[in-house]
Chain A
Amino acid sequence: MSSAAGKKTPLYQKHVRLGARMVPFGGWLMPVQYTSIVDEHQTVRNAVGIFDISHMGQFIVSGNGARDWLNAMLTNNVAKLDVGQGQYTFLLNDNGGVIDDLILYRIGEAEFLLVVNASKIEEDFAWLESHLKKERSRPGGLGAAASPCQLKNRSADFGGVAIQGPRVVDLFHDLLGQNVELPARNHVIDFVIAEMPVSIARTGYTGEDGVEVFFRASDAAKFWNLVLERGAKFGTKPCGLGARDTLRLEMCYPLNGSDLSADRNPIEAGLGFFVDLEKPNFTGREKSLETKTNGARERLIAFKMNGKGPPPRPHYSLFSGENRVGEISSGTLSPSLNIGIGMGYVSAASAKIGTPLEVEIRGQKFPATIEKKPLYKKQS
């Protein structure tokens, strides 16, 4: 692996010292695994895993016009957010295609935090900035005099980790004290841990209970060490992008660039829940409404292989009988289910749950079935 292939997070040295295999991802050098993807996957399903997410971007939007401006830029309804609450949302292009999927937190009365994908930091920021400029100069727009909002890219200032798994509450009670309550699902609260100011958000990308924690980049190594040290008794282990991918795919959470792209809209991806068409105006609304009204031509489905066989992978063709009906966008062997799983876009006529499909792998066809999302459900 060439080290010229990517930027390094503040935890890079930690990963190398732990023996991680480093790979380029979204312009960054990230750990794909420390020991084994399957082990790390099971650690998150059964104990606690800690992932470096410092590569992700953080933008701050603040000012009296922030809420209304963000509501015009993003698909979900910003007006529904209380202070301390977050929501999953999309940044769309003019054709309704996905530029990025992100989490928006309202961190003050008129202050918002956007957590965006690593590979999209520059593109998202340029898009938002160009629209803010347009807004300032538009007659009757927010205007420079009418408290326009400020947009700042703070990505380099923050490090972050995702801490995920059924024992995460035990771990944080140990760190914060038994009586301290963690934020509710999709909420964020600021704490101080070992003199480090941190923002803890109850969210994740694994399907397990968990948090994402953001801190000053200069505190990253200290926080990482603290969690591994204090978390050892709860089975906490470092986990890489490999396990992050198998965990999120079992839950059918989309990965931008694979399951989402600039020429697909969230309605086709089955994520209309996060697109508020009641809002009178936001970028990409027309196309989203049109797709919703007329029905999508293709839809993102989840499938399971019917039996043992080679794992399904991105770009393999999907067949219904003799007809090629689409292709796989994400696929892997599910460590929890021990069978091949995936998602892919198929023509709407072949997208019903229960539809038999065939996956073409090296010229041979293997049977699969369209399943309800998520593919993995926690046994309780």
Chain B
Amino acid sequence: MNVPEDLLYTKSHEWIRREGENIRVGITDHAQAELTDVVFVELPKVGASVEAKAPVAVVESVKAASDIYAPVKGTVVEANEALTNNPALINSDPFGEGWIFALKIDNADDLKNLQSAAAYKDQIET
């Protein structure tokens, strides 16, 4: 299972890429494999203020709907509109084209609550 070293991770299987004052968020390779064929994504509204651990998007497979959570407090600055027509990008390229949204973060210190690639690897292997 692919767990890129340069990303941060949540317990709920989101990945976080730091981009200056913003973060980009998606779900991990492990999560997409668990969910299987993604058939629909409900994106957050750009401009929305979100609390840490609040559900902000929904990823639906054939079998189930799963909430996607904001890793930290912030404001939604981008949503990946490409997923509307091609939700399967989450399966084919979870860490790239399959990103879900970007947040402008309120406080960079909040990122300290997230886990490293090594810690996430431990989480999914046990």
Contact = CB atoms under 8 A, between A and B. Distances in A.
Interface in B33-80: 36-37, 39-40, 42, 58, 60-63, 65
For chain B, the bracket of interface size reads 10 to 19
A330 to B, nearest CB: 12
Contact of B36 (A37, A308, A310, A313): A37
B60 A37 contact: no
Contacts of B42: 310, 362
B104 to A, nearest CB: 25
Contacts of A37: 36-37, 61-63
Contact of B63 (A32, A308, A309, A335): A32
A311 B58 contact: no
Highest count of chain B CB atoms <10 Å: which of A32, A333, A335:
A333
A304 to B, nearest CB: 15
Contacts of A308: 40
Given A36-B37, A37-B36, A38-B37, A310 B62 contact: no
A311 B40 CA distance: 7
A87 interface: no
B62 A242 contact: yes
Contacts, number: 38
A112 B58 CA distance: 49
Nearest to A332: B62
Interface string A300-311: 000000001111
Contacts of A76: none
A333 B42 CA distance: 15
A110 B114 CA distance: 68
B98 to A, nearest CB: 16
Interface residues of A, number: 17
Interface in A296-354: 308-311, 313, 332-333, 335
A311 B60 contact: yes
B47 to A, nearest CB: 19
Given A37-B63, A242-B63, A310 B37 contact: no
A246 B62 contact: yes
Contacts of A309: 40
B43 to A, nearest CB: 12
A62 interface: no
Nearest to A36: B37
Contacts of B62: 37-38, 242, 246, 311, 332-333, 335
B58 A362 contact: yes
Nearest to A338: B39
A362 B61 CA distance: 16
B39 A333 contact: yes
A32 B35 CA distance: 12
Contacts of B65: 310-311, 313
A32 B37 CA distance: 13
B63 to A, nearest CB: 6
B40 A33 contact: no
Contacts of B37: 36-38
A362 B44 CA distance: 13
A21 B34 CA distance: 9
Contacts of B40: 308-311, 333
Contacts of A335: 62
A252 B65 CA distance: 22
B60 A310 contact: yes
A99 B39 CA distance: 34
Contacts of A36: 36-37
Contacts of A246: 62
Interface in A333-380: 333, 335, 362
A242 B61 CA distance: 11
Nearest to A309: B40
Given A310-B42, A310-B65, A33 B36 contact: yes
Nearest to A35: B36
B44 to A, nearest CB: 13
Given A21-B36, A32-B63, A332-B63, 10 more contacts: A37-B37, A37-B62, A37-B63, A38-B62, A246-B62, A310-B65, A313-B65, A333-B39, A333-B60, A362-B42
The 9 closest A-B pairs by CB, nearest first: A333-B39, A37-B62, A38-B37, A310-B40, A36-B37, A333-B62, A310-B60, A311-B60, A36-B36
18 contacts: A32-B63, A33-B36, A36-B37, A37-B36, A37-B37, A38-B62, A242-B36, A308-B40, A310-B60, A310-B65, A311-B40, A311-B60, A311-B62, A313-B65, A333-B40, A335-B62, A362-B42, A362-B58
Interface of A: 21, 32-33, 36-38, 242, 246, 308-311, 313, 332-333, 335, 362
